[in-house]
Amino acid sequence: MSVNKKNILNRYFAVTIVMGLVAICILIKAGIVMFAERQYWNDVADRFIKENVILKPNRGNILSSDGKLMASSLPEYRIYMDFQAGGINKDTLLMNHLTEICEGLNRIFPDKSVTEFKSHILKGRKSKSRNYLIYPKRISYIQYKEAKRLPVFNLNKYKGGFHEVAFNQRKKPFGSLAARTLGDVYADAEQGAKNGIELAFDTILKGKEGLTHRQKVKNKYLNIIDIEPVDGCDLVTTLDVDMQDICEKALIDKMKEINANVGVVVLMEVATGEVKAIVNMTKGRDGNYYEMRNNAISDMLEPGSTFKTASMMVALEDGYITPETEVNTGNGVMQMYGRQMKDHNWHRGGYGKIDATHIMMYSSNIGVSYIIDKYYGSNQQKFVDGLKRMSIDQSLNLQIAGEGKPNIRGPKQRYFAKTTLPWMSIGYETQVPPINILTFYNAIANNGTMVKPKFVKSAIHEGEVIKTYETEIINPKICSDRTLAYIREMLRRVVYDGLGKQAGSKQFQVAGKTGTAQISQGAIGYKSGQMNYLVSFCGFFPAEAPKYSCIVSIQKPGLPASGGQMAGTVFGKIAERVYAKDLRLPLTHAIDTNTVVIPQVKPGEINETKRVLDGIKVATKLPVNYTKNKVDWCAPHQGTNAVVLEHRDVMPEFIPSVIGMGAKDAVYLLESKGLKVKLDGTGKVKRQSLANGTRIRKGQTINLILD
């Protein structure tokens, strides 16, 4: 049977033509839908359900050990105008009230004039923008609420066009206190964390997203939640705000005095390893000090004489020496394998013959290096093994990232020469971060048990503790009790009548070791030819029953440089103030139990004041015109058997007096009136830069001095 090729070709062309016509029809219909019927289908889509709309959880707060808020997410806003909303009526209303609106915006945002706001709004009106940014910066909740009260802006967004976009901004109420340890998040807190506790515990803090679908009914969306969002947990840190403030102030005062470049303080609770305070200060280009890096855990520097304690402990533990072992340090200069080893007083003739205790007291380089070289020079690995036995070489695996790993070389490693051992014994040719040195001294104070430093102790969700971070033991016993007794007495003598006297106190005993070391030019970046120094002091107090250990480490240019005179002074101030803080006894210890105690109360918000007094069971007498839950202010004074809360008038257009108030109430009251507040000091307000009764100008800065 022959094939009819002509018939097949005719059919093929017919099918091709039909398919081409169908394709053309589809393209035409798509064009009609996309352009001619676009608005119709948009309206239809608006009536459909919007699926899988993400609900963002609230990020958890970070709290101090005593419950004070150290980091929290607060809302900030950008404000916009939709010039097509509300139609002709809205446009007429906008033009009628334009001057009033622009004057109001100028009061709220005084950095832009009325004329600038008017020109800006008219430009947006001309462009018929649906999402026109009214003010370029993010604004606070108080500013947003004030803007929302202006004409037209006070209508709903469909009639007036005024609308906002909210952002969660992470705030630290205590400013720079422990800023690098707490860490940072990105500009919008929902984008995640950068570093510190914020990053290390990000999965716990950020919570879990929820899902909802939205149904439009009568021009309003109804949210139907499919999966509830789970807010992030709050973290309770080990940090104590008062101790942190004590440490930061003591360190910065000394750094300013000696023109230091970098300073570190870490204060730790001996038994638990809880870090009560951690300060990392770096000098900025403007001469002020800021928390830029977490130097306490990351700096890899030669520790200097604070390392001598570890060297002497190895020799004591191996039984080569006792505290009475004598060394002839001569005139303060000794040749060791072709290099000069010098004591700090070599120009005054040296120390001569002294025992091991005095070697530590006077921080004799010759004494320590001679002992280590004599007993370990032929078996260098034994000395290194002794250090490792005390876990001083181990990484701490801290709860936060960025820690440096101690670098303690062994004789089989590269560049380990004959001079390495004696210089290593006095804290050179090795690098150990400050927090690792502190952990070692803390173990001495803790009867030989080395515990890991801890920054977070629990996670809380809706008031319930869901996870507790227990104290972790790194090494249950770094040395024998005999060696511990020897070394603790040596460290006590360093402070009692050695080079560490400045770290001591007349109220209690302190034990510790000074340190002064030359550091490389690159460490703090000074000009070539100028020697740089690391001055430090590490110890614990009270020496007889240690509760806290602390390290102070300061990098400075040039001489003079003294661990005892510089870092020791900071340590002494911290120790005395922390010890005094711990001595505060309950009020009941100081009064007759039959006495009715009426405390002095600072001026403040009346409902908050009453809530606190009710919580501690102190009677209150309220003003006649008191309205519950209404924000109002009071001036309390002591009555016969109650605290009298007198009403305090706050005139809306005039600056109020905040003298005597706490920082929280003073800042809230002043910022609610559109003022910018700067704080100096701690405690209650002692002075204010703008006098009571002065007429308010929005955006003014008022300085408060606290004491």
At residue 425, does pLDDT exceed 90?
A: yes
pLDDT band at residue 604, thresholds of 50, 70 and 90?
confident
At residue 50, does pLDDT exceed 90?
A: no
Pairing of strands 210-217, 162-171: unpaired
Using alpha carbons only, give the angle 477, 478, 483 rounded to the nearest 5 degrees. Answer: 105
| Helix or strand run (H / E) with residue 7 | helix 5-31
Q: What is the token pair recorded at 512?
A: 């510790």
Residue 695 CA to residue 702 CA, distance in Å, equals: 13
So what's the pLDDT on residue 217? Answer: 61
How far are the Cα atoms of 134, 295, 460 from residue 401, in angstroms, in the given order? 41, 12, 22
Question: Residue 698's closest CA among 686, 690, 688, 687?
Answer: 690
Question: Residue 299's closest CA among 522, 72, 508?
Answer: 522
The predicted-structure confidence for 472-494, as pLDDT tens digits, reads as follows 999 999 999 999 999 999 999 99
Higher pLDDT residue, 526 or 286? 286
Is residue 289 a contact partner of residue 251, using CB atoms and an 8 Å limit? no
Provide the β-strand partners of residue 282.
Answer: 262, 290
Residue located via tokens 């807190």: 189
Provide the β-strand partners of residue 617.
Answer: none
- Check: pTM over 0.85? Answer yes or no: no
Among the listed ranges 16-30, 36-50, 52-66, 215-229, which one has the minimum average pLDDT value?
Answer: 36-50
Could you tell me what percent of the chain has a pLDDT over 70?
90
User: What is the average pLDDT across 527-550?
Assistant: 87
Q: For 86, left (φ over 0), alpha (ψ -120 to 50), or beta?
A: left
Q: What is the token pair recorded at 352?
A: 């001569």
CA 194 to chain centre: 12
So what's the pLDDT on residue 524? Answer: 44
The predicted-structure confidence for 343-364, as pLDDT tens digits, reads as follows 999 988 999 999 999 999 999 9
Q: What is the token pair recorded at 442?
A: 């803390």
* Greatest mean pLDDT among 104-108, 276-280, 702-706: 276-280
Residues of the chain by 3-state class (helix, strand, coil), percent to 5 = 35, 25, 40
Q: How confident is the prediction for the chain on average, in pLDDT?
A: 86
User: What is the average pLDDT across 536-552?
Assistant: 96
At residue 420, does pLDDT exceed 90?
A: yes
Q: What is the token pair recorded at 435?
A: 């927090």
* Greatest mean pLDDT among 200-214, 515-529, 566-580, 677-691: 566-580
So what's the pLDDT on residue 583? Answer: 67
So what's the pLDDT on residue 692? Answer: 73
Number of H helices, E strands in the chain: 22, 29
The sheet that has 676-680: what strands, in order across it?
676-680, 701-706, 685-688
So what's the pLDDT on residue 51? Answer: 61
How far are the Cα atoms of 230, 235, 369, 395 from residue 200, in angstroms, in the given order? 19, 11, 41, 17
Higher pLDDT residue, 664 or 432? 432
So what's the pLDDT on residue 99? Answer: 92
Phi and psi angles of residue 568, each rounded to the nearest 5 degrees, phi first: -60, -40
The predicted-structure confidence for 123-132, as pLDDT tens digits, reads as follows 998 988 888 9
Pairing of strands 620-621, 643-647: parallel
Residue 87 CA to residue 81 CA, distance in Å, equals: 13
The predicted-structure confidence for 260-299, as pLDDT tens digits, reads as follows 999 999 999 999 999 999 999 999 999 999 999 999 999 9
At residue 560, does pLDDT exceed 70?
A: yes
Residue 599 CA to residue 676 CA, distance in Å, equals: 32
So what's the pLDDT on residue 484? Answer: 96
pLDDT band at residue 48, thresholds of 50, 70 and 90?
low
So what's the pLDDT on residue 278? Answer: 97
Question: Residue 175's closest CA among 288, 23, 291, 278?
Answer: 291
So what's the pLDDT on residue 522? Answer: 47
Four-way CATH pick for 604-706: 3.90.1150.10, 3.40.630.40, 3.40.50.2300, 3.30.10.20: 3.30.10.20
Residue 145 CA to residue 104 CA, distance in Å, equals: 12
Q: What is the token pair recorded at 236?
A: 């309770």
* Residue length of the chain: 707
Interhelix angle for 114-127 vs 98-108, to 10°?
Answer: 120
At residue 526, does pLDDT exceed 50?
A: no
At residue 47, does pLDDT exceed 60?
A: no
Is residue 241 a contact partner of residue 64, using CB atoms and an 8 Å limit? yes
Residue located via tokens 């108030």: 661
Calculate the CA dihedral of residues 651, 653, 655, 658 and round it to 10 degrees.
40
Residue 684 CA to residue 682 CA, distance in Å, equals: 7
Question: Residue 530's closest CA among 562, 493, 559?
Answer: 559
pLDDT band at residue 695, thresholds of 50, 70 and 90?
confident
CATH of domain 241-321+355-410+424-453+490-582: 3.40.710.10
Is residue 37 a contact partner of residue 210, using CB atoms and an 8 Å limit? no
